[in-house]
Amino acid sequence: MHSLFYKIFLSFLLITLLASITTVIISYLAQVGPYGALKKRVEQNQIQALTHYLSVTGLAAVKILDNGGKEALRSYLLDVEKQNHSRIFLFQEDNNNLLNHTLPQGAANLAVSSQNSHDIQYNISETEIIIAVPLFTQDGQNMTLVGSTIRVTRPNIFIDKKMENGWRQIFFLGHRFGLPVIVVLFIAGAGCYLLARSLTAPIRDLRKATQQMSKGDFSTRINLANRRKDEIAGLSRDFNTMAERTQSLIRSQKRLLRDVSHELRSPLTRQTLALELAKQRFSNGEPYLARIEKESRRLGELIDQLLILTRLEGNMDNCLKEPVDLHKLLTSIVHDAAFEAVYQDRGVDIRTLAEVTVSGSIEMIHRALENVIRNGLRYTAIGSNVEITLSKDDPIATITVRDHGTGIPQEYHEQIFKPFFRVEKSRNQDSGGTGIGLAIAKQAILMHNGSILARNARTGGLVIEIRLPLS
């Protein structure tokens, strides 16, 4: 059964057939088989016992009627009912009920039939057996003694009558189709449960694997090909192929960044050395040498940032865990940033700083917060401040950094955390930076099971919100 379609189709077909066959077998056993034969024997025994009981009672009733009259007969029959916990009805020749009891359905007609035939008559319903016995007095009167008893349809497994009635109502045991319906529901439920479990178990494995991939673990694989031969197994093979290909591409990309960064560092060092020698020998080339020095410094910063980003992406789950006082860390970063921002006619404004401690790497969290704050200083308007708040709401600590710049279009709110992504116009390379700072911040925050997002402030500017789990 290599096709999931045929597996579902044949499973439902098998469940339906099993339920139908079980219903037929139960019906056969109940009507024709051993259980049906037992029911017939019990039924005959009940009829014989009730007939004998009515015959004996009838002989005594005739003698009492002849000797004591109708009142003595009525008293006798009432005493017999109490002693035997049964119901008795005595029909006189004019079909009047001597005891004035409420008659069961069909009792009157059965009495007339017995009088006309001068023979014992009985009627069997779903719940009751009624028997009519003709009686003949010495003075020639014709009477009919009718008795009824509850029909036994199954063994009594309950001692308490109330408990029996309760279970009969719950499981429809009093109905002829009660037991077959329960059996069919049990078989169908068990079959559907096994089918659902068979289908959902590999899907849960696939979901776990995708969650692992979303966390950066591209070594995750699903081993279903040996256990299944259907479409889900094919899906698992495709997933493994995709994961392997993705892992290979990511590994190649990281290797390329690392190799390029290392390869560029050596010539860049030599270039810097040559630049210093040129400054000493050629005093009239100072403007050009200054430009070369500026670009070399920017290239060095880019290489350093690339190496940091590569290290973060390769060690998402292996960072050193230690208590980090965010209040103290932010105070230190803001102090340094504010000192540099004075010369740019910008500032840093701390709104609120709660006492918050998280668990993680001080170096990585410091780098993430510093990159975000410096990014805000780079794009906030001249004469404005970057606003910083730190709050906690168990179990999360929240850091917000807001600038008063022009903001960015909403469609770029997620893309600004990608390496080398730049928004057009105001946020370009002329504003400074390498285009990797926010990417490093995101990787550092994700390393600590946190989140980082960007949104535009209502009155203008960009707000970057960082959320970290408390230690």
Would you please indicate which residues are annotated as catalytic (active-site) residues?
262
The whole-angstrom separation of Cα 397 and Cα 354 is 9
The whole-angstrom separation of Cα 110 and Cα 98 is 16
Q: Closest Cα to residue 107, out of 129, 80, 130? A: 130
The whole-angstrom separation of Cα 456 and Cα 183 is 63
Place of tokens 């579902």: 8
The phi, psi pair for 407, rounded to 5°, reads 75, 180
Side-chain-side CA neighbours of 283 within 13 Å: the count stands at: 0
The whole-angstrom separation of Cα 415 and Cα 423 is 9
On whether the CB atoms of residues 241 and 209 are closer than 8 A, the answer is: no
**65 CB-near residues (< 8 Å, 6+ apart):** 72, 73, 137
The whole-angstrom separation of Cα 63 and Cα 69 is 9
Q: Which residues of 109-141 are buried (b: 16+ CB within 10 A; e: fewer)?
A: ebbeebbeeeeebbbeeeebbbbbbbbeeeeee
